Amino acid sequence: MNIPLPKLLVVDDTPANLVAMRHLLADSGAQLFEANSGNEALALCLDHDFALILLDVNMPEMDGFEVAFLIGESEQLKETPIIFVTAAYADDINRIRGYHFGAVDYIAKPINDMILQSKVRVFLDLYKARAELKSALATLEERNTQLKVEMAERLRIEDRIRYQATHDMLTGLPNRVLFHDRLLTAMQRAPRHGHGFALALLDIDGFKAVNDTHGHPAGDALLQAIAERLGDGLRANDTVARLGGDEFALILEDVVDDTSLLRRCEEVCTVIARPYLLDGSKGPFEANVSASIGIALWRGQEQSDETLIQAADRALYRAKGEGKNRCVMAS
């Protein structure tokens, strides 16, 4: 901890007194400044942070009381301790007046060397202790700030890792892990809310041809565009996930009946079948694909998540076998 030398200001209009004080305070461990008038003392106070001011009371033009008053009026200087040096120490009225103007102590002239050095040492030690405390607090504050930054960065990294563990990196959709979590949540919530839900498994018809003909970057761009359309077309409480390759899953909440459910899935088919303008290895092209969807309505607590997935998967297999680009309800 690097604490700078404390600064000590001696104010006296008599040169011989300044020389004497300089000699007495040479080994004080402080950087010594001198002023021979009140105005010079105030000017030095504005440029330096003094640990202590030894202020002569009897000076022409501006006496020590006036200097102390002006120092006490300044927000920057008012905490600076002042010891009055005066031949009128025995004058109680002047002593009380000095305390009123901010003096912390008096030293009588002629000066006793031991008393002067002892009192100065006390105030310099106090200044050093305050400076050390201030430095320690600043270091602590800096470390706290650093810890906050490190904690924020750690939380950001943890959030990023958690996101990567539960989301598909290509499309940003929930992945298979988060899909299963959302599916179990839907199964737990449905009995309490009184509405059913359905699982729809979706395969993209014609995706392999786009991938093989126009390259994997074009295939990735197509999957991203499909994911965006699926997200835009669903309700806020529905879930769309990418299970892998060109396979997606939809968890459709608040299902009232089979007819409305089938209509919702047919709308998804219509959205997916719209052309996609993409860039491929051979230049810009229009991709035309469709979706086959297998739908399974959750039948209640007796049905497990795996049973529901298998029912939707069988319905998807039927949709592809019956000509693709269609929705099939599980029987």
Q: What is the per-residue pLDDT across 277-331, written as a single tens digit (0 to 9) for each?
A: 999 988 999 999 999 999 999 888 777 899 999 999 999 999 999 999 999 999 8
On whether both 44 and 127 belong to a single domain, the answer is yes
On whether both 126 and 218 belong to a single domain, the answer is no
On whether both 195 and 289 belong to a single domain, the answer is yes
On whether both 42 and 119 belong to a single domain, the answer is yes
Residue 162 within any structural domain of the chain? no
| Nearest-angstrom CA–CA distance, 71 and 48 | 13
Whether 190 has a pLDDT exceeding 80, the answer reads no
Q: Which domain holds residue 121?
A: 7-135
0.75 surpassed by pTM:
no
On whether both 107 and 201 belong to a single domain, the answer is no
Evaluate whether 201 touches 247 at the Cβ level (below 8 Å).
yes
Residue 300 within any structural domain of the chain? yes
CATH number, domain at 266?
Answer: 3.30.70.270
Residue 248 within any structural domain of the chain? yes
Residue with tokens 């992945």: 175
On whether both 257 and 119 belong to a single domain, the answer is no
What pLDDT does residue 95 have? Answer: 61
Which of 135, 164, 198 is the C-terminal boundary of a domain? 135
What pLDDT does residue 291 have? Answer: 96
CATH number, domain at 111?
Answer: 3.40.50.2300
Q: What is the mean pLDDT of residues 237-250?
A: 95
What pLDDT does residue 120 have? Answer: 87
| Nearest-angstrom CA–CA distance, 211 and 123 | 82
Work out the end-to-end distance of the chain between its first and last CA atoms, rounded to an integer number of angstroms: 79
Residue 260 within any structural domain of the chain? yes
Whether 151 has a pLDDT exceeding 90, the answer reads yes
Measured CA distances, 35 to 8, 43, 125, 271 (Å) = 11, 9, 23, 88
- How many CA atoms does the CB half-sphere of 35 hold within 13 Å? 24
On whether both 226 and 100 belong to a single domain, the answer is no
Which of 102, 135, 168 is the C-terminal boundary of a domain? 135
Q: pLDDT band at 98, cuts 50/70/90? A: low
Q: Which residues of 242-261 are buried (b: 16+ CB within 10 A; e: fewer)?
A: bbeebbbbbbbbebeeeeeb
154-166: pLDDT as tens digits? 999 999 999 999 9
Residue 62 within any structural domain of the chain? yes
Whether 61 has a pLDDT exceeding 90, the answer reads no
Residue 151 within any structural domain of the chain? no
Number of domains in the chain: 2
On whether both 215 and 281 belong to a single domain, the answer is yes
On whether both 92 and 225 belong to a single domain, the answer is no
Q: What is the mean pLDDT of residues 56-70?
A: 84
Q: pLDDT band at 4, cuts 50/70/90? A: confident
Residue 144 within any structural domain of the chain? no
On whether both 88 and 226 belong to a single domain, the answer is no
On whether both 232 and 291 belong to a single domain, the answer is yes
Residue 37 within any structural domain of the chain? yes
Residue with tokens 């761009």: 221
Whether 262 has a pLDDT exceeding 70, the answer reads yes
* Residue 115 φ/ψ, nearest 5 degrees: -65, -45
On whether both 111 and 209 belong to a single domain, the answer is no
